[in-house]
Chain A
Amino acid sequence: MMDGKTDRPLVRVEQVSKEYAMGGEVLKALNGVSLTVGYGEFVAIIGPSGSGKSTLMNILGCLDTPTSGKYWLEGEEVSRLPENRLAEIRNRKIGFIFQNFNLLPKLTALENVELPLIYRGMKGAERRERAMEALRKVGLADRTRHRPAELSGGQQQRVAIARALAGSPPVLLGDEPTGALDSKTSGEVMELMLELNREGHTIILITHNMDVADQAKRIVRIADGVLDEGGGAACISPRD
């Protein structure tokens, strides 16, 4: 995965703010956030609920655009792009891993994994091949014909990870990926993500769980819409 792009940061966010109008008052969900993530990093963004971490996640994932500030993804300024371009960027450059998996219940595991490739316009045979490869990578090669309802929570999340991997995007974005899992499966999922990181995938996780964040190479705290970055995981003292 690693290539010669390391001189340019993968993610560069500068002075990003996001405001919501709520009942006449302006709520600042993000207040001048700056963040840089390089290729191959494993970053955990940790913060309590209401801290703005989901807003940051949405902006990093190009699901939402900031009110002000700039966001470069692989050197491309994306904060002011039209919706169709953003959809393309989500499709090619970002792999989402959601807390509640967000698989389509009527599709099989394989079809779910194929979905981003369909929107990329990839042809049938190649698409199936890539999807199978992604499922093999997460250890679910024998569950391709199962629907999400026929899989356990951990397996569903692994299908979701396979879906995120299928398009080989430069960055995987996890929004509380272990939030809906018990501690054993959640450990397995984290293990898988660490493994992917070791293989070179860049991973950005959002969590409020310190144990999860601790496994990341780098921890960024967020509170009241402001980022507070220590040097690395070692410098952050556990919260409780």
Chain B
Amino acid sequence: MSSLRARGVTKRFGGVVALSDVTLDVHPGEIHGLIGPNGSGKTTLLNLFSGYYRPDGGKIALDDEDLSLAPVQRRPRVGVARTFQKPRLLPTLTVLDNAMIGGWPDTRAGFVATALGLPRPDREDRQLRLRAHELLFGVGLGGVISRRANLLEHAEQRFLEIARGLMLRPRFILLDEPAGGLTGAEIDHLGAIIKTMRDCGVGVLLVEHHTDFVFRLSDRVTTLDLGKVIKHGPPQDVRNDPEVIRVYLGA
């Protein structure tokens, strides 16, 4: 199985170098933690992986495909999903509909077939509904499945983002600060969900400020500072690295 790779990636905003020559692989079936102080380039890297930015140097690749210049919409097709730091749900739709929207890449029925009520869109709809239903019960949203998304609590919104991402049947999922604003118990649930995804073979890129959470969960951790990788390796090595402690973890 091949990995999602950033090779020597550089990103500039005007004169500011947000990322400089960063190399990072996410393997299938691993949790890769990405930590660093504010402004170190974590979210920029995630936006490069998910196609919202284009690199000024280096490349983003999966399998043999160079994704550097591919549009955002290409990501779900090759199996890369993401969640957002601030949940981006469709407020007037139900939880089930919000999850189902992740089934778009599997929707083959065109506008005309749908409008004419042909059997195919109906069949696709039923299959996606079934899968969304199972995923929602899986992440713990079974009780609120027909609630409008604008009535959800914060944790529910975060978990719904993950369910929607999983609807894309991703090989890799990029989580942008998924633990932000969650309580201790909810963070434990989140950890269990992330581990389950990994155990099913999904590669997880975990961008997060809760360093304890990252070190506890991750198979490998990369630390960024000022747009550069300062340490990369197993959690215990990174945790004890003097440079990481100096710039980020503190004494």
Q: Do A and B assemble together?
A: no
